[in-house]
Homo-oligomer: A and B are copies of this chain.
Amino acid sequence: MPDRADSDISALLANGSLRLTRPRRLIWRHLAAAGAHASAEGIYQALRRGRAPLGRATVFRTLKLFARLGIAASTDAAAPRRRFEAAAGKAHHDHMTCLGCGTVVEFTSLAIERLQEAEARRRGFQIVGHSLEVTGYCPRCVAARGRRRP
């Protein structure tokens, strides 16, 4: 399993002027093993006491890098602050955020909304609101990436 994980990351890093360092390897493995619940602080705490003490700043920088490379995704990629919405009624829109240029495209899907409701109902969960953030690359950045690395 370290094998595949390493090849994943090294293949991506090797494509630029980026370097495959020990902290990056450690953080990547941790991320791959941790599922969706990894926070910068959590990773830092988990790794600092190992035999490879590493800095908090490195964890933040590395996670951000991974997100930019597209090998990791973060909750709420676009917003530095928390956002709120009135939950009473009102049609709601979801977001696609470009990891390359930061563009946010809004969209709505009644079908997705209905499926959410179905999932919630199945669990006796009463929905108040939801936030769907799709991260990826917009057409322009997809093209740019294709050109940059053939």
Taking beta carbons and an 8 Å cutoff, which residues of A are in contact with B?
8, 28, 31-32, 34-41, 63, 66-67, 70-76, 79, 81-88, 90, 92-93, 96, 98-99, 105, 107, 109, 111-112, 115-116, 119-120, 123-139, 142
Contacts and interface: CB of A to CB of B under 8 A. Distances in A.
Closest 10 pairs (CB-CB, A-B): A73-B129, A124-B139, A36-B85, A127-B136, A128-B136, A130-B134, A39-B81, A75-B131, A32-B86, A126-B137
A70 B87 contact: yes
A34 B87 CA distance: 12
A128 B125 CA distance: 28
Could you tell me the dominant secondary structure of chain A's interface residues? mixed
A31 B138 CA distance: 29
A112 B116 contact: yes
B85 A38 contact: yes
A39 B66 CA distance: 26
B112 A125 contact: no
Given A96-B123, A125-B139, A130-B132, A87 B71 contact: yes
In this complex, which of A72, A74, A90, A119 has the most chain B Cβ atoms within 10 angstroms of its Cβ? A119
A115 to B, nearest CB: 5
